[in-house]
Structure 1
């Protein structure tokens, strides 16, 4: 006997909720993009770091599988950091990550604000004092 509305005989629901935006993007083969709130949050951090003299340039890439905000100290260099949005990882380890130039993931998570806290700590070079 089938359960009403399930469409399966064993009574298990196999339906997955997919956000409309993701379904439309997959169907139309659209690139992954940052929405207005996400970009506002990232650009606010970028402005603070530029004011502190740490960052000088940025680039935004909207690729088929992810969106990347790359941060540069100089325009001619490799990016120092990349803020990556990968919707395919949203249910696993989180859609957001901060990656260094060497490919090391500094922080990963489900919420952009929490992932960007990795930049709250100012790392400084410590010099040994000789006596």
Structure 2
């Protein structure tokens, strides 16, 4: 729907009449839902680890995805494959398990927490990150 476009809704005419009418409703003044994104400092921390792993020849590509509930930094060994790892930010979980998580290609949560730097330390442990079959 474009800004300023009108949609219709059914509203009662009068409580005693029992009838209804269609009334135009403007969507121009409704705020867009907030998008979850990585902050500059968060991206800096992630890209520092990414750069180190690219230099080591482990990773070759990445993708960013920002949505209404979650931001995802996907890490690939080769273009066009399933991501090896995903670094996620889910603000809904900030008070529970922590907003940040590192998820493997199989969907296993390798590390979750409130502090991104601590969560990213999972990549320092080489033995946990070996890919079977490569």
TM-score bracket, shorter-length normalisation: 0.7 to 0.9
Cα deviation for residue 56 of structure 1 reads 0.2
Match for residue 117 of structure 1 among 121, 128, 131: 121
Corresponding position of 1:24: none
TM-score (norm 2): 0.71
Corresponding position of 2:70: 66
1:105-128 CA-to-partner distances (Å, cap 9, x unmatched) read: 000000000000000011258xxx
Equivalent pairs counted in the alignment come to 99
Cα deviation for residue 31 of structure 1 reads 1.0
TM-score (norm 1): 0.73
Corresponding position of 1:128: none
Corresponding position of 2:6: none
Corresponding position of 1:17: none
Distance 1:31 1:122 in 2: 33
Name the SS for the 2:69 alignment partner.
Answer: coil
Bigger CA radius of gyration: 2
Name the SS for the 2:126 alignment partner.
Answer: coil
Higher strand share: 2
1:59-116 CA-to-partner distances (Å, cap 9, x unmatched) read: 0000110000000000111000000000000000000000001100000000000000
RMSD of the TM alignment (CA)? 1.3
| Structure-to-structure mapping, 1:1-131, within 5 angstroms | 28-123=32-127
Distance 1:39 1:89 in 2: 19
